[in-house]
């Protein structure tokens, strides 16, 4: 679940706008929520601009911005000022979150492409991705997968979660999540590429 930092941040302390970047960073690492607010106000624009330029989607960029500050807050003990300035640390987290979002897009395209080989869309279909995914559920393709693979793919495609978020929610190692996603997609591709030997795959009326 995305934490809406911008909507629930505490009031800034008097004189916060005059705090140096180092003072904001130090307070952030100590767990001072007022410095979290100051950091968000000061650097959210940088994070959002990076994400928007790369992703080309304002909604996804805003979500990445929230993920970045949530990840930074949770991992604030890992910040080392001797390795570089605080904004640079945030930029590094932003790059990873952007990469996660692009990977999620690729997984969606792969599944849609695999499904499209057997479930062609009509020209007047509405939301193409949703139509294909709904038909996959109806025909039981996801249900054929082992439980772990099914859980990971369902969270990715229907919960719109990144692999990092899935790992956090399930407690699985990130490498395990990636493995389940890859194997699940491979199984679905093979299943959907085989010639149909029984009834058609059309959705029920």
pLDDT averaged over 10-residue windows placed end to end, the chain, 205 residues? 42 58 92 92 93 88 91 92 92 92 75 52 46 51 80 77 87 89 80 50 34
pLDDT for residue 111: 66
Distance of alpha carbon 135 from its chain centroid, rounded? 24
Contacts of 23 (CB under 8 A, 6+ apart): 35
**φ, ψ dihedrals at 103, nearest 5°:** -65, -40
Same CATH topology for 1-101 and 117-205: the answer is no
CB 180 within 8 A of CB 148: yes
Rounded to 5°, the CA angle 16-18-22 comes to: 85
Query: What CATH topology corresponds to 1-101?
Result: Rna Polymerase Sigma Factor; Chain: A (1.10.1740)
Whole-number Å distance between alpha carbons of 29 and 41: 16
Could you tell me the residue ranges of all domains in the chain? Answer: 1-101, 117-205
pLDDT for residue 28: 94
Distances (CA, A) of 131 to 16, 77, 116, 159, 173: 50, 44, 10, 16, 31
CATH of span 117-205: 1.10.10.10
Contacts of 132 (CB under 8 A, 6+ apart): 111, 112, 115, 116, 119, 121
Distance of alpha carbon 46 from its chain centroid, rounded? 19
């Amino acid at each position: 679940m995305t934490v809406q930092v911008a909507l629930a941040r505490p009031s800034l302390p008097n004189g916060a706008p005059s705090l140096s970047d180092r003072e904001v960073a130090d307070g952030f690492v100590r767990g001072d929520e007022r410095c979290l607010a100051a950091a968000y106000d000061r650097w959210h624009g940088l994070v959002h601009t990076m994400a928007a330029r790369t992703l080309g989607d304002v909604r996804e960029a805003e979500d990445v911005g929230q993920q970045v500050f949530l990840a930074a807050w949770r991992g604030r003990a890992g910040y080392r000022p001797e390795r570089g300035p605080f904004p640079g640390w945030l930029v590094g987290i932003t790059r990873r979150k952007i990469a996660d979002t692009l990977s999620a897009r690729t997984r969606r395209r792969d599944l849609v492409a695999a499904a499209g080989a057997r479930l062609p869309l009509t020209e007047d279909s509405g939301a193409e991705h949703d139509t294909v995914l709904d038909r996959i559920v109806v025909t039981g393709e996801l249900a054929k997968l082992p439980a772990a693979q099914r859980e990971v793919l369902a969270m990715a495609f229907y919960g719109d979660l990144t692999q990092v978020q899935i790992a956090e929610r399930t407690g699985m190692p990130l490498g395990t999540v990636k493995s389940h996603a890859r194997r699940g997609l491979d199984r679905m591709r093979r299943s959907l590429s085989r010639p149909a030997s029984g009834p058609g795959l059309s959705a029920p009326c």
